[in-house]
Amino acid sequence: MEYTDRIIRDPGVCGGEPVIKGTRVTVRTILASLAEGADTQEIVADFPTLTEQDVRAVIAFAATSAEEDLPIPGIPNVA
C-alpha cells in the first residue's frame, strides 16, 4: 500500500509528527491503539475522521520505517 497520499508531516500540525492527512490524528496514536489490541473497526469508531485505508496506511508506514531502521546483517565469513 502507498501510504504517502494519506500520511503527512507538517510543522504546523502536531509539531510535525506524522498524522493522517486532513486530521490531527497521529500515526503514533493509531499504532498505540493497535498495540493495545484494537482492531481497525474499533479505531475507526474511536476516530470517525479515519477510514480503514488510513489505518492500513499507518501499518504500511510503520513497516517501511522499521525496515529502514533495521541494521543490515554482515556477510558471514565462511572461508
**What is the DSSP-derived secondary structure letter of residue 14?**
G
Task: Please state, in angstroms and rounded to a whole number, the distance separating the CA atoms of residues 27 and 76.
Answer: 37
As a whole number, mean pLDDT of residues 8-34 equals 96
What pLDDT is stored for residue 69 in this prediction? Answer: 66
Instruction: Say if residue 67's pLDDT is above 90.
Output: no
Question: For residue 74, what pLDDT is reported?
Answer: 67
Task: Quickly count: other Cβ atoms within 10 Å of residue 13's Cβ.
Answer: 16
- Identify which has the larger pLDDT, 54 or 78: 54
Q: State yes or no: pLDDT of 53 exceeds 70.
A: yes
Element (H, E) at 43: helix 40-46
**What's the pTM value of the predicted model, to 2 decimals?**
0.82
Distance set, CA 50 to CA 10, 28, 58, 69, 73 (Å): 18, 14, 11, 27, 37
Considering only the top CATH level, what class is 7-69? mainly alpha
